[in-house]
Amino acid sequence: MMPTRDAAYLVFQSLAQDDGSSKMPQPSTLETNQEAKRKIFQLAVTATVCCTLMVAVIIVYIVLIWTKKTVGYCVSDSCKEHAERLRHTVNASGDPCNDFYAFVCSGWKRDYTTLSVLDKMNQDAKKNEIVELNSDMLHVGGASQLYYQCYEPSKVQAATNVEALLQFMDAVGLIWPVRDANDSLLHPLEVMLYMAAKYDTNFQFHLDVVPSKVIGPILIFRRRYHGVVWENRIKNTMNMEEYATVIRDHMHVLGLKNVQYNASLLRQLETFLIEATRYENSEGDQSWLAISQLDSKTPHIREVQWHELLNRQHSITLQRNWNPKDWVVVEDSLILKNIDELFRAYPDSQILMGTAWIFIQTHLWVAAAKPELMFRDNDREKVQLACLEYVNSLFGLLPSTGYLNRTYPTDEVRGRVYSFVQSLKNEFVSALKSSAWIDRESAEKGERKINNTELNILPSEHFFIPLVRAGLYARFPDISTSAFVDSWLSTAEFYQKLQNHARFYDVYQKRRTFHQEPYAYTYLRNSVDAATAALDPPLFYTGGTLAMKYGGSGVLLAREIAKAIDPLGTTVNEYGENVTWWGQTLSAEYNQRLRCELGQAAGHRVMGIFPWIPALEVSFSAYKVAVQEIQGSGHSVQDLRVRDLEEYSDDQLFFMTHCYALCSKEGSQQECNVPLRHFYPFAEAFGCPLGSPMSANSKCTFFD
């Protein structure tokens, strides 16, 4: 029975009147006092708990109010386009923490079984170029004139073209099939270099001369990829009887009778040369050496020396004499290996015969206005693309002038692109300087190298000024009254001489489309070159969100910049000199991080940390810095989402855009999933628990 209010009062009164003596109260009074104390204590505890809970609720409410992101929505055409792309490919019922690539790319793999996102970008860009060439209905420009001469050739000029082709072959030393290949006075390597240096018509490689800031001009051996003609041939296999018919058809069109040849040998040579220029599975291991070292790399080349032959060609075309100590960059080690193997496997006369046979098949169909020689189905779309290849090899961005002017119409728009690419360099520098494990001297050297990294992304401003652009291309020879072969070869000869021009690197040589990757780093030059399609959707949208830009082009560009400080990049300083300034030999911590293996997808090699992890760390950080800068300028939106993709935060969209760009690319599942498993912001964005397939228990990091 609870004590009454009066009883409690009597207890307090009794206690108050106690004089402090040792006199004990009566038992009934003592029990009443203890019960009262217990109740008071309970009331006090209850009040304290209630107050504490109330304060906690208030604090949580305040925290939620202050930390909740303000969400906004992008409704621009760029965002609508990107949303449509992703909604078509994302498997919303999938678990991003189990297989992120499958989550993002399931729809793409369903619709495009053999075409990657990057392939589709190139395909769309080429279609756009053809539309633009066809819009020049009067064929005023040199690019449209060459395209028209190729795609709609005059039958009247066919004989002239074939004769011009044979005269060219004789001039460069390809005397077969008119004469016996054994009668040639030129060495096969000299023929290759003559064709490459003067006309860029060699089948095995491109040969470029590029400037560098300190070490002087550099000679670059670049891969030559198969064009439309040979891609079509490879897909349409033939038996030996059909192949013999192809040879007879070509000899007939050339007007040659009673030519002695071995069909089996020609096919063997063709197969070797085609296989030697297939780079789909190549590691692309870039290297550099002195010109004098080329001979030791190709020991089976007999009787001639590279240095002498290079000088013989470039002293004429570029008025340049090479020093044996001048540098050569080899874009892929397979280039020299396959050349050496060619000279090991075949005698000189057969190499000349094989080179001539490849050249004839590559170009006779257009010279004679007989596409059926190489396109048995006479597919007009393939003919269009083949003609576009001739145009692009010489006129570069000219067929994309309208597109580029519409996409980057003002200095302000182009300035935002420059700011975007510069922000990635800035963030690399910031990461170097703020990483606790990187010593000050190495960070400063890295900073200088990154700051000196040249980013050749958009064409020079000269291209966007109409009068200046017109002046640049007015230098080309007039081909308005020529037949195709003469137009092509005279323009090719002129183009090769432009390598001495100040605008060759950032105007004439730039292209709309790319082969394997949209961005490419050259170690010795410390430069990143890009096709302009690298800034096309879905990699980049001028009206897109920051998550779209940095998740697409940002990551891919950061991968190439990261090579400036990878194990090979740390052996070349900011001036292009071969000096080891950092890396695994000078830093135990660098070496330890380098040894951290990311893992692998089934059927693939183990991935190392470069360039994947540094690129993710820097591009994501640059994206966050850009967001903070916008918020600091008065914008209240903290989470800018894309309309029709409202369920995904901007951070999630960053990673979705990144992997979408890789859909159906060779090795793309590994390229998407494996690095992200080691990236904390990804796990945080999608709530992937530690140890789940997309969140490794032990993560590899570089800057962090």
Residue pLDDT, tens place only, 263-294 = 999 999 999 999 999 987 777 799 999 999 99
Look at residue 12 in the predicted model and tell me its pLDDT: 32
Residue 395 lies in a domain: no
Q: Is the pLDDT of residue 5 over 60?
A: no
| pLDDT above 80 for 47 | no
CA distances from 327 to 108, 217, 289, 453 (A): 44, 8, 6, 19
Residue 373 is assigned to a structural domain of this protein: no
Q: Are residues 502 and 643 in the same domain?
A: yes
Q: Kindly report, residue by residue over 429-486, the tens digit of the pLDDT.
A: 999 999 999 999 999 999 999 999 999 999 999 999 999 999 999 999 999 999 999 9
Same domain as 344, residue 271 = yes
Q: Say if 190 falls within a structural domain.
A: yes
Rounded-to-integer distance, Cα 539 and Cα 557, Å: 10
Query: Phi-psi region for residue 192, left (φ > 0), alpha (ψ -120 to 50) or beta?
Result: alpha
Please tell me whether residues 213 and 350 are part of one structural domain: yes
Cα-Cα-Cα-Cα torsion 249, 250, 254, 256, nearest 10 degrees, comes to -70
pLDDT band at 581 (very low <50, low <70, confident <90, very high): very high
What is the number of residues in the chain? 704
Same domain, 184 and 254: yes
My answer on whether 90 and 178 are in the same domain is no
Residue 665 C-beta-side C-alpha neighbours within 13 Å: 21
Q: CB 62: neighbour CB atoms within 10 A? A: 10
The string of pLDDT tens digits covering residues 107-137 is 998 889 889 999 999 999 999 999 999 998 8
Cis peptide bond N-terminal to 611, omega within 30? yes
Domain that holds residue 619: 71-126+400-686
Question: What would the pLDDT profile of 300-349 be if each residue is shown by its tens digit?
Answer: 999 999 999 999 999 999 999 999 999 999 999 999 999 999 999 999 99
Q: Report the alpha-carbon distance of residue 566 to residue 576 in Å, rounded.
A: 15
- Alpha carbon distance 349, 342 (integer Å): 12
Distance CA 590, CA 582 (A): 8
Residue 207 belongs to what H/E stretch?
strand 205-210
Residue 13 belongs to some domain of the structure: no
Average pLDDT across the chain, whole number: 90
Query: How confident is the model at residue 41, as a pLDDT?
Result: 56
Strand residue runs (E) in 541-678: 639-642
Residues 326 and 455 in one domain: no
**CATH code, domain with 609:** 3.40.390.10
pLDDT at 7: 37
Mean pLDDT of 49-75: 57
Rounded to whole angstroms, the Cα distance separating 360 from 174 reads 10
Answer with the residue of higher pLDDT: 260 or 561.
Answer: 561
Quick check: is 28 in a domain? no
Identify whether 645 is part of a domain.
yes
Assign 541 a pLDDT band (cuts: 50, 70, 90). Answer: very high
Higher pLDDT, 1 or 85: 85
Calpha distance 122→94 (Å, rounded): 29
DSSP 371: G
Q: How many CB atoms lie within 10 A of CB 659?
A: 25
Looking up tokens 């692009």, which residue turns up?
A: 392
Across 308-384, the runs of DSSP E, i.e. the strands, are 327-330
Q: At what angle do helices 411-434 and 440-452 cross, to 10 degrees?
A: 160
DSSP letter at 299?
A: T
At 201-242, the pLDDT tens digits run 999 999 999 988 789 999 999 999 999 999 999 999 999 999
pLDDT tens figures, 631-678:
876 666 667 889 899 999 999 999 999 999 999 988 899 999 999 999
Q: Are 376 and 236 in contact (CB under 8 A)?
A: yes
In a domain, 32, yes or no: no
Predicted local confidence at residue 376, as pLDDT: 82
Q: Contact 288/524 with Cβ under 8 angstroms?
A: yes
- Domain count within the chain: 2
CA-to-CA distance for 455 and 529, rounded, in angstroms? Answer: 6
Q: How far apart are the first and last CA of the chain?
A: 67
Residue 405 has pLDDT above 90, yes or no: yes
Check which CATH number belongs to the domain holding 181 and give it: 1.10.1380.10
Cα 210 from Cα 435, distance rounded (Å) = 35
pLDDT of 172 higher than 50:
yes
Q: What CA–CA distance (Å, rounded) separates 593 from 620?
A: 20
Residue 639, strand partner residues: 71
191 and 264 share one domain: yes
Q: Is the pLDDT of residue 27 over 80?
A: no
**Same structural domain for residues 679 and 567?**
yes
Q: Is the overall model pTM greater than 0.75, yes or no?
A: yes
Please tell me what DSSP assigns to residue 239. -
Are 530 and 522 a contacting pair, CB within 8 Å? no
Q: Are residues 504 and 359 in the same domain?
A: no
Average pLDDT rounded to a whole number, residues 598-608: 79
Q: Does 219 fall in a domain?
A: yes
Question: How much is the pLDDT for 665?
Answer: 87
Q: What pLDDT is recorded for position 225?
A: 94
- DSSP calls for 423-484: HHHHHHHHHHHH-TTS-HHHHHHHHHHHHH-EEE-SPPHHHHSHHHHHHHHHTSPP-TTS-H
- Give yes or no for residue 17 having a pLDDT over 90: no
Q: Specify the pLDDT at position 61.
A: 40
Same structural domain for residues 120 and 243?
A: no
Query: Residues 590, 679: one domain?
Result: yes
Q: To which H or E segment does residue 289 belong?
A: strand 287-290
Q: At residue 272, what is the residue type?
A: F
Q: What span, in angstroms and rounded, lies between the C-alpha atoms of 493 and 479?
A: 13
* Residue 438 and residue 484 in one domain: yes
